[in-house]
Amino acid sequence: MSEETTQKVVYTPKDFKSDQEVRWCPGCGDHAILNSVQRAMSQLGIKKEKYAVISGIGCSSRFPYYMATYGFHGIHGRAAAISTGAKVANPGLSVWTITGDGDSLAIGGNHLIHVVRRNVDINLLLFNNRIYGLTKGQYSPTSVKGQITKTSPYGTVEPPFNPGELVIGAKGRFFARTIDSDIKLSVEIFQEAARHEGTSVVEILQNCVIYNNGAYADITAREYKEDRQIVLRDGEPMIFGKERDKGLMLDRENMKLRVVKIGENGITEKDILVHHSNENNPGLHMMLVNMSWPNYPVAVGIIRNVASPTYDMAVHAQIQKVKQSSPIKKMDDLLKSGNTWEVK
């Protein structure tokens, strides 16, 4: 690729908007996520032509059409596999996988766990609205138990997946959670996800105004969101609340997290757990992703961020290694290798 080509190294979010009309419902959380991604990409210092945005099927998967980058709209559930192929084929690309709770946790569950296990260097944005929107309102694998939808008119009877638990269980090295409307936090997380080498899964709690309105209202409403969310930041104590007077401690007797009030029962800031996203042991991270209101605040931010060799690099490194030692350098060598004989 010619370095001479005068490329803008600094972009504005507008540079990432395609000429296509955005067709999500007015008020859909996807609009905000699109803005966050465009903003994040414009600031990463990666050339525009290096981005490939790859999606599956669902409302969120229309995403690539609205981006001015290379884009590929795949089939249901397969975004992670298509992304794996693209990234391994061309490790120079910055691959962003756009998927939803139905796409990645139901029909594409197998690809999700394996892309995470292999640690392919992609950024996978999982839009979790706990509903099938594009097919007009059926329950998904993240719908809360008892949720009433068109295919569960009497409420679902099945327990949901927690995406973070699944990802960490599948040996995930990077898991973060954000909220569609929190553009500042989302931009920050997307950029960190892009910098992480390996599969970065970002769960975005996303509202569906039509079929699951208020899916996360109990934790996102302005009046109490500070009391019901905890923003995890590396090296900082796990403190939350409007008054920043609540924190998390590890109850060592039963190995559970406990919400405590600073200043009560002699508890000081020093007693509060400090967040280390790079801790290799997934135990505490698993507890953090599993926290749910009302027993706990819901954790947002980068929960886990552990360095580990990537699949795509390992594949290419192995090829280079074999190339160096093998006497077969081109096809003719292979054709004439081993047992051959001459007919004269």
Partner 1 sequence: MNAYRTWWFLYAFNVLILKYIFMTKKEKPIELEDVVIRFSGDSGDGMQLTGTLFSNTAALLGNDIATFPDYPAEIRAPQGTVGGVSGFQVHFGHSRVKTPGDLTDVLVAMNPAALKANAKWLKHSATIIIDVDNFTPKNIRKAGYQDDPIKEEKLEDYNIIKAPVSSLTKEALKDMGLDMKSVLRSKNMFALGMIYWLFNRPLTFTEEFFKSKFKKKPEIIEANERVLKAGYYYAETIEALHTTYIVRPAKIEKGTYRNINGNTATAWGLIAASEKSGLQLFVGSYPITPATGILEELALRKDLGVITVQAEDEIAGITTSIGASFAGLLAATTTSGPGLALKSEALGLAVITELPLVVIDVQRGGPSTGLPTKTEQSDLMQVLFGRNGESPVAVVAASTPSNCFDYAFEAARLALEHMTPVVLMSDGYLANGSEPWKVPEMKDMPEIKPRIVPEGTQDYQPYKRDPETLARGWAIPGTPGLEHRIGGLEKDEITGNVSYDPLNHQEMTNIRAEKVKRIVNDIPELKPEGKAEGDVLLVGWGSTYGHLKSAQEELVKKGKKVGLAHFHYINPLPGNTADILKKFKKILVCELNMGQFANYLRMNFPQFEYHQLNKVQGLPFTVAEIKEAANNLLEE
* Interaction between residue 12 and partner 1 (CB under 8 A): no
Name which position in 89, 148, 274, 314 contacts partner 1 (CB under 8 A).
89
Nearest residue to 316 (alpha-carbon basis) of 88, 114, 80: 88
Name which position in 22, 70, 134, 165 contacts partner 1 (CB under 8 A).
70
Nearer to partner 1, 37 or 299 (CB): 37
Residues 266-325 that bind partner 1 (CB under 8 A): 315-316, 318-319, 322-323
CA distance 51 to 45: 11
* Interaction between residue 5 and partner 1 (CB under 8 A): yes
CB of 4 to partner 1, least distance (A): 11
DSSP string for 220-274: HSTTTHHHHEEEE-TTSB-EESTTS-EEEEEETTTTEEEEEETTSTT--GGGS-B
CB of 128 to partner 1, least distance (A): 22
* Interaction between residue 2 and partner 1 (CB under 8 A): yes
Contact partners, residue 72, CB within 8 Å, separation at least 6:
52, 53, 54, 55, 64, 82, 86
Tokens representing 57? 């099927």
Nearer to partner 1, 54 or 131 (CB): 54
Nearer to partner 1, 8 or 261 (CB): 8
CA distance 154 to 313: 49
Name which position in 12, 27, 45, 110 contacts partner 1 (CB under 8 A).
110
* Interaction between residue 169 and partner 1 (CB under 8 A): no
Name which position in 36, 60, 69, 207 contacts partner 1 (CB under 8 A).
69
DSSP letter (8 states) at residue 160: P
CA distance 83 to 115: 9
Nearer to partner 1, 81 or 131 (CB): 81
DSSP string for 33-47: HHHHHHHHHHHS---
Query: Given the rule CB under 8 A, which of 111-119, 142-150, 212-220, 299-307 is the region that contacts partner 1?
Result: 111-119
CB of 62 to partner 1, least distance (A): 8
CA distance 315 to 318: 5
Which residue reads 């008054």 in tokens? 243
Name which position in 42, 60, 84, 310 contacts partner 1 (CB under 8 A).
84
* Interaction between residue 87 and partner 1 (CB under 8 A): yes
Query: Given the rule CB under 8 A, which of 45-53, 147-155, 163-171, 296-304 is the region that contacts partner 1?
Result: 45-53
Buried b (16+ CB within 10 A) or exposed e, 108-146: bbebbbbbbebbbbbbbbbbbbbbbbbeebebbbbbeee
Q: Which residues bind partner 1 (CB under 8 A)?
A: 1-2, 5, 7, 18, 20, 47-50, 52, 54-55, 57, 64-65, 67-75, 78, 81-90, 92-93, 110-111, 113-114, 315-316, 318-319, 322-323, 326, 328-332, 334-336, 338-344
